[in-house]
Structure 1
Amino acid sequence: MHRRHILRGSTLAAATAPLAMPALAQPQAPALRWRLTSSYPTSLDAIHGAAHVFAKTVAELTEDRFQIRVFGPGEVVPALQALDAVQAGTVEACHTTASFYTGKNPAFAFATGVPFGLNTRQQSAWMVEGGGIELLNELFRQYNAYSLPLGATGAQMGGWFRKEIRGTEDLKGLKMRIAGLGGTVLSRVGGVPQQLAGGDIYPALERGTIDAVEWLGPYDDEKLGLNKVAPYYYYPAWWEGAANTSFVANLDQWNALPKAYQAAIRTACAEATTWMVGRYDTRNPDSLRRLLASGTQLRAFPREAMEACYREALALEQELAGKSPEYRKIHEAWSKSRDDMRAWFRVAELSFDNFLAQAAARR
């Protein structure tokens, strides 16, 4: 084609194409203000702080046009009523632990972590690539809500005990603060689970209202002062090999958001999750050293007790799958991912970690 034909064609295309709107004349995304209630004590800069990292990231991604104000537990609603507040539209969003709400539906546990379930990487993989987010939002829609992972704690500690646990017999009659399906498993071996908000656990343990408490790990537990009221620190937290915390938004409010703001929330949730994992992994070691130096007695749960709880956890999975259609549907997909990833992790991750642990012990 001759050059003048090309130029003529380009001129014609330019003449017939709609004129681009100058940048300053582009319609701006709306200025929005949301309230987010947190279920976590404001003194805990990792788990509570993740919501602030999230809100800051949303503001930066939207050039401060979408502002989300974070409230501590009790400032708007109590810690364990966060989902109810979102469902009712009292607040637009919350940052909470979905397993707090297994009394509404046991399937909520999958958004956090189930007894003897997935570790941190596996939970993230299932949520993001294994269909977990989509499956869980079929459940959250029944409560007028939309949810995404916002934060992860890594593997947790088994908690603080006023007396030693030498076997399964010592779990009988034990009053323990423990949430979700872990509490159900504990009750099946004779324990007495109690669900308490984070801010209530120290006084309950100090007064002897409860005999034991699980919260998270050394970094948070040290801040809460739990070592001052219970001498024995057990591991691991078999009820949550990993624990996701959740962003939950009112469904109508979520659907009304511009797509760009929804994308900002998704990005900010991922940013805050990475931040929280890193914060705990880098700070837990020093906190544990300080706790041990102060007289804390570190203990592993007896094998007998772990195996008894494991058997009950597997039996509970099957029972819940037979009772709850939502649990059954999620469990079917989740359990396949669990089995596949465990087989792979045994080959690569576990063998690598085991070698390094043994090699370091021999140095």
Structure 2
Amino acid sequence: MKFWKSAVVAAVASLTFGGVANAQNLRLLASWDSSYAAVSDVLMPFVKKLENDTTAGVKIQIMGPETVPPFEQLDPVARGLFDMLFTNGAYHFNDTAMGMSLDAMSGTAGDLRDGGVFEAVDKGYQEIGLKLVAVLFDLNGYHIMLKEPVGDNGLEGRRVRGTPIYHPAIEALGGSPVVLPGGEIYPALERGVVDGAAWPTVGAVAYKWYEVADYMMRPTFGQVSHMVLMNLDTWNGLDDATREEIQQIAVSFESEANAIFDGLAEKERTALEAEGMEETALSEELAAKLQTAWFEGALDLAATKNPDEIANIRKLAAEAGLD
């Protein structure tokens, strides 16, 4: 029995007679707890704007991974047991790769909207009962924290934590990927279960990974999409005015999120250096290989799950200069 089943039972008990939660009182699952700055410094301000700037008086209760484990959150939201989800597409790759494709893009959420990529991804999620509300991008991307500096052969022979989207990049550098939730990274590094961990450039300070890893691999790569999804029945149950207000708030805040993440990334780098972490650089040849492996690998991997949809996204991205 899954340990979060009691939370789901409680959620079901709170549903109205018609089977859909009160449209103005929404429950949001987050894939990370509030110690991750994307939750405390980005999601929470977004939620406050939704609550303060919608005339219908939307109220949102945030629940973290202690309620439902990160890799298991998509299904209960799609089934309406919760109303919203704040996550990354790689966390539910086994269900759909549409969201994971966003991390392969090279552009802002506004660029994705203008180029039709946002609409294509939204269409894919609607087919499984979800609505894509916003994409809060950290354009600073990802990096790999290591116990030892990179060698002439990159990460050859090393085990590196990474969800499926990281696998092509890790393997291109000679490493072996290991899938672990964020909460298991510290003990895995401490015990030597892994030799490194791939993660956004924001987050290591809060989780104190500098205590068990001494190096930050450079260059960084990709960009991090934090998606806000809503159960489609919940979305359709909102009145037209509220849906329009939410869409306007989302578009506006997507731009604000870029600036917030820029500040967080700079603060993070400074703090990690103060804690004794050092940069370790790939050779130019391996750095170029990393970038190619990331962008092509992410979409190639996504295509193994949703081939037709990803082919369309790849075409739209190329036409909009987002590839």
Taking structure 2 as the reference length, the TM-score comes to: 0.82
In 2, Cα distance between equivalents of 1:59 and 1:313:
37
Deviations 1:78-115 (A, max 9, x none): 1222222211212011111113223333333223x12x
Cα separation, partners in 2 of 1:267 and 1:170, compared to 1, 3 Å: same
Cα separation, partners in 2 of 1:285 and 1:307, compared to 1, 3 Å: closer
Q: What's 2:130 paired with?
A: 145
Counterpart selection for 1:87 from 78, 82, 98? 78
Counterpart selection for 1:174 from 158, 165, 177? 158
TM-fit CA distance, 1:127: 1.7
Deviations 1:113-147 (A, max 9, x none): 12xx41xxx23243221111210022112221111
Q: What is the total number of aligned residue pairs between the two structures?
A: 300
Q: What's 1:198 paired with?
A: 182
Aligned: 1:305 with 2:298: no
* Residue identity in the other structure for 2:141: Q
Equivalent pair of 2:154/2:282 in contact (CA under 8 Å): no
Counterpart selection for 2:316 from 333, 343, 347? 333
TM-fit CA distance, 1:313: 4.9
Aligned: 1:269 with 2:247: no
Cα separation, partners in 2 of 1:264 and 1:207, compared to 1, 3 Å: farther
Overall identity of the aligned pairs, in %: 21
Aligned alpha-carbon RMSD (Å): 2.6
In 1, Cα distance between equivalents of 2:291 and 2:31:
29
TM-fit CA distance, 1:269: 2.5
In 1, Cα distance between equivalents of 2:214 and 2:255:
32
SS in 2 for 1:273: helix
Aligned: 1:73 with 2:65: yes
In 1, Cα distance between equivalents of 2:40 and 2:179:
19
Deviations 1:183-242 (A, max 9, x none): 23423554222333322222222222211112222x52212111111111112332x2x2
Q: What's 1:228 paired with?
A: 211
Counterpart selection for 2:277 from 270, 278, 296? 296
In 2, Cα distance between equivalents of 1:328 and 1:135:
11
In 1, Cα distance between equivalents of 2:215 and 2:193:
17
Equivalent pair of 2:23/2:234 in contact (CA under 8 Å): no
Equivalent pair of 2:146/2:214 in contact (CA under 8 Å): yes
Equivalent pair of 1:126/1:334 in contact (CA under 8 Å): no
Structure scoring higher RCO (CA < 8 A, sep ≥ 6) equals: 2
Equivalent pair of 1:51/1:272 in contact (CA under 8 Å): no
* Residue identity in the other structure for 2:137: A
SS in 1 for 2:98: helix
Cα separation, partners in 2 of 1:171 and 1:81, compared to 1, 3 Å: same
SS in 2 for 1:166: coil
Counterpart selection for 2:94 from 99, 103, 107? 103
Q: What's 1:208 paired with?
A: 192
* Residue identity in the other structure for 1:293: A
TM-fit CA distance, 1:48: 4.2
Equivalent pair of 1:150/1:272 in contact (CA under 8 Å): no
TM-fit CA distance, 1:173: 3.3
Deviations 1:313-355 (A, max 9, x none): 57645686587111111111112222xx68xxxxxxxxxxxxx
In 1, Cα distance between equivalents of 2:63 and 2:249:
18
Bigger mean CA deviation after superposition, 259-268 or 33-42: 259-268
| Runs of 5+ consecutive residues of structure 2 not aligned to the other structure | 1-21
Aligned: 1:38 with 2:30: yes
Q: What's 1:51 paired with?
A: 43
Q: Where is the helix percentage greater, Structure 1 or Structure 2?
A: 1
In 2, Cα distance between equivalents of 1:103 and 1:63:
38
TM-fit CA distance, 1:305: 2.1
Q: Over alpha carbons, which structure has the higher Rg? A: 1
Q: Which runs of 4+ in 1 moved over 4 A?
A: 310-323
TM-fit CA distance, 1:271: 4.4
Cα separation, partners in 2 of 1:283 and 1:92, compared to 1, 3 Å: closer
| Runs of 5+ consecutive residues of structure 1 not aligned to the other structure | 1-29, 343-363
Counterpart selection for 1:155 from 114, 120, 140? 140
Taking structure 1 as the reference length, the TM-score comes to: 0.74
Cα separation, partners in 2 of 1:276 and 1:312, compared to 1, 3 Å: closer
